[in-house]
Structure 1
Amino acid sequence: MAQHSVFRLPVHDLMGKPGSMRELDLRVNTPEKWGEAVAQVPEGAELEASGQLESVHEGILASGEIHTRAEAQCVRCLDPIGVDIDTEFTELFAYSGQEGYDSEVVDETIDLGVVVRDQVVLQLPFQPMCSPDCPGLDPETGEKRPEGWQESTEERIDPRWDALRELMEHDPTPNENGTSRE
């Protein structure tokens, strides 16, 4: 994470005081784009994190909720859509020198950047849709199908089989006795 992370929080007032806590209310813009593929949180998107920072014997326990908005593309019709991301986090920032913890208190600060990013990216949809009944694109024309479009109930046969179908309909074939079927 960058040296001057927007997610870096001072915790000097909580260090070494198990049981003490304070509220967390963080409103920042994302420092970079998070996610790839069809859904991502763009750089500069508004992000809110609220919860609490609590001093425990091992370090500082950060927990709370995250809210932001991702930009996506409907996988059926390719229209742009917005996706609200709401998730929770809990992370223990151990005092420096303790082994077995992923996050540490460094210079009397904690950096929620990796925790927040990971939680947000895990919530990004793999196949976002503008609506559950999105009709998608017409495979023949590539145009977006109109709202309320319904799949035809008539069975369509692949046009590559037309020549064989015509042979079967117009060419009598002999059966096992050598006589034609008709």
Structure 2
Amino acid sequence: MHILNEQVPAPTDVGNALIGIRGGSELDLDLRLESVHEGILVSGTATAQIAGECGRCLEPIEYDFEADIQELFYYEESEEFEDDDDVDQYWVVDDLIDIDPVLRGAVVTALPFQPVCKKDCLGLCSECGISLNDDPEHQHEILDPRWAALAQLSDNVASDATNDKTSFKREEK
């Protein structure tokens, strides 16, 4: 068994469109490498800084994330899963292992698909883009275009009623 505690630069493009690990940032590995009959069992944690933006209001998000890792890397001679395409197989090649795909799998599957800065984030106004977190009472009077003709008719009736009252008052004098 070998214990590995190291800080390495994080790989690029670990995450999704809105959130992920910053490429080149520090990645803390705390791993245990154990020799087993089939290969090398890697278990432990990888801690990284997650950065991105809220899916509702586009505010920046940053937090530390700890991914649990446990994967078996098979020796090259092992033929246990050679024909099974449904199983992810990781191999020890020339006494080296590549934990990059394992790390990507552990981090990407744990990241939120639509990250939010807080649970009750209100997002942005769909009309003007103002942050509704800053002004929760913000709203626009939106008239459905299907009712626009009726609203115009209503304005005309109100205008005619005002004109009729004015002309009635003039006739009285």
Matches within 5 A, 1:10-159: 21-99=1-79, 100=81, 102-147=89-134, 149-150=136-137, 158-159=143-144
Following the alignment from structure 2 to structure 1, what is the Cα–Cα distance between the partners of residues 64 and 113? 14
1:164 is matched with which residue: 133, 140, 150?
150
User: For structure 2, which runs of at least 5 residues remain unmatched after alignment?
Assistant: 83-88, 158-173
TM-score, normalized by length of structure 1? 0.69
Following the alignment from structure 2 to structure 1, what is the Cα–Cα distance between the partners of residues 95 and 123? 52
1:64 is displaced (CA, Å) by 0.9
1:148 is displaced (CA, Å) by 6.6
- C-alpha spacing 1:142/1:53, structure 2 compared with 1 (3 Å): same
TM-score, normalized by length of structure 2? 0.72
Q: Deviations over 1:43-74 (max 9, x none)?
A: 10211121311111111100111211222111
Max radius of gyration: which structure? 2
Following the alignment from structure 2 to structure 1, what is the Cα–Cα distance between the partners of residues 137 and 78? 61
Following the alignment from structure 2 to structure 1, what is the Cα–Cα distance between the partners of residues 132 and 94? 57
Q: Counterpart amino acid of 2:150?
A: L
Q: Deviations over 1:107-154 (max 9, x none)?
A: 1222212111221122222111111122221222211124472577xx
Contact 1:85 1:124 in 2 (8 A): no
Number of positions where the alignment pairs a residue of Structure 1 with one of Structure 2: 147
User: For structure 1, which runs of at least 5 residues remain unmatched after alignment?
Assistant: 1-20, 171-182
